[in-house]
Amino acid sequence: MHVPSSMISLSHPGATRRSASGLSVAIPLVAIALMASCHGAPRSLPDVPNALNLASSVLRDGNVPASLTCDGVNTSPNLTWSAPPANTRSFALILADPDAPQGTFVHWVLYNLSASARSLPAAFPARSQFADGSLQGNNDFGNFGYGGPCPPGHKEHRYVFDLYALDTTLDLPSGATGGEVEAAMKGHILARGRLIARYSHQSLSHLISSKSALFRASSVLELPFLW
């Protein structure tokens, strides 16, 4: 999610305003994650076995690439998982940030995935329902599907992917919140797979330093430099 400079306001992290004296004054601003009321935040669930091996080829180093966040194209990573218990009827997936300032912030809710599914492709479509019966809920940005990491400030946050194998399909319409899905799952969870990756916005000084280093390297190699 990119915000045009013309739209920078009190809701955009890092914005500044000019005081009456003409000096630029930094304003501590509230990011989107702070604006959500956490109404869809997952509740605590009983401990369940992490019997599913949940993995992603783009999250193997434990970090979320910027391309999958609001600093990039904001699309979901590919996911794969191992075979669930034999009596699995469906899967549910919740991606949440437990480090959000006002409590857990839900980034992705997907449920009634087919029990035969073993993967999700990258850039999963932001639709409410699919031909196989799987449904997507509303994330705490207020949208269907995946909403990538967008933590306020530059502090590192954890992003927790939880995949649940269930002994039922959930009697919920599309657009359910993370909390509603977790409430409906209680008593039906057979196994869980968990994947944790981290992300923080790069500071302006880091970006300038990186571009300067790249410029110096391109000059030494006598290569054309493209911004």
Task: Write the CATH number for 183.
Answer: 3.90.280.10
If one counts the domains in the chain, the total is 2
Would 216 be classed as within a structural domain? no
d(CA 145, CA 209): 35
Longest dimension (CA), the chain: 70
- On whether both 76 and 175 belong to a single domain, the answer is yes
208 part of a folded domain: no
What CA–CA distance (Å, rounded) separates 10 from 6?
12
Instruction: Give the tens place of pLDDT for each residue, 32-90.
Output: 333 333 444 455 566 777 799 999 999 989 999 999 999 999 999 999 999 999 999 99
Considering the domain architecture, whether residues 96 and 23 belong to the same structural domain is answered as no
> Residue 16 sits in which domain range?
1-30
pLDDT tens for residues 175-221?
A: 999 999 999 999 999 999 999 999 998 754 444 444 444 344 344 44
Q: What is the CA radius of gyration of the chain?
A: 20
Residues 15 and 106 in one domain: no
Q: Is 210 inside a domain boundary?
A: no
Residues 82 and 173 in one domain: yes
Whether 48 is in a domain gets the answer yes
> Is the domain of 1 the same as that of 93?
no
